[in-house]
Amino acid sequence: MSDHEYPGFWPLVRSDLDSYLQRKTGASPLSIWLKYWSVAYEHPGAVALLANRAASVLRNGKPDPITRFCFRVWSVMLRISATILGGSWISGHAKIGKGARHMHQGGVIVNGATEIGDYCDIWQGVNLIADQTLKAPKIGNWVTLGANCMVIGGVEVGDFAVIGAGAVVTKNVPAGGVVVGVPGRVVKLLDPAHRPEQLPERGNVSTDEYDAYVRAHR
């Protein structure tokens, strides 16, 4: 998600909630917040994701001075809650597409130069970090990042890839690649055309919408 593609705070938060809840959320901000708190109760990692969304307003949203001040204070409070209470740190400078899910709290680190596509799952213990050259990972769309995996440096992970639990990725991963082991190696290629079970499930995304998404990103 590049800066000129920034869709706005509410659309991003709503898309995240849709993915957590597996259904469309209401348009009312009040109904969204009520649903958000139910998500935060079941998935505390969502707070770290919300902290990134709040910080993105300061970078991309061009808010007025009062709104900027409020979002800055709020993002700091969310950051403290996410790091101290939840144990996860997702930089406010990281670019994260719509429909993201940070499935469980704890141990997640996302570097500020990282780019993450749409509809990605980030499980507990995931590290997306820069190398000595300060280059950070670029994650595609519909990618599953398994528990305790690590992606290091300017690695590109293709759409619909699955990074297995505990894998350490230091090389580019092709679209649909399933990566396991240390160092990470591709053991299988998925065909997203058939919406494999291994891919992140999104009950809020219809089959027609999914098929159109696959065609547009292949």
Taking the alpha carbons at both ends of the chain, their separation in whole angstroms is: 17
The residue with tokens 């141990």 is 107
Mean pLDDT of 173-196: 87
Q: Residue 197 pLDDT > 70, yes or no?
A: no
pLDDT of 200: 67
Closest CA to 116 of 102, 132, 134: 102
pLDDT > 70: percent of the chain: 95
Mean of the per-residue pLDDT values for the chain?
Answer: 86
With CA atoms as reference, report the closest residue to 203 among 11, 16, 20, 26: 20
Q: Is the pLDDT of residue 2 over 90?
A: no
In the chain, where are the structural domains located? 3-217
What are the tens digits of pLDDT across the range 30-70? 888 888 888 887 888 888 898 999 888 888 877 788 888 98
Task: Give the length of the chain.
Answer: 218
Which homologous superfamily does the CATH classification assign to the domain defined by 3-217? Hexapeptide repeat proteins (2.160.10.10)
Residue 133 has pLDDT above 80, yes or no: yes
Handedness of CA 33, 38, 43, 44 (dihedral sign): positive
Instruction: Return the structure tokens found at 46.
Output: 């969502």
Residues 78 and 50 sit within 8 Å (Cβ to Cβ): yes
Q: With the CA atoms of 136, 53, 201 and 40 taken in that order, what torsion angle do they form, in degrees rounded to the nearest 10?
A: 120
Taking the model in full, what pTM does it have?
0.87
Tell me what the mean pLDDT of segment 99-127 comes to.
91
Locate tokens 């700091």: which residue?
A: 76
Task: Say what the pLDDT of residue 97 is.
Answer: 92
Calpha distance 174→187 (Å, rounded) = 11
Q: How many CB atoms lie within 10 A of CB 131?
A: 14
- pLDDT for position 218: 67
Contacts of 205 (CB under 8 A, 6+ apart): 99, 119, 213
Distance CA(100)–CA(102), nearest Å, equals: 7
| pLDDT digits 0-9 by tens, 62-82 | 778 888 898 889 888 888 888
Nearest to 50 by CA among 84, 7, 22, 81: 81
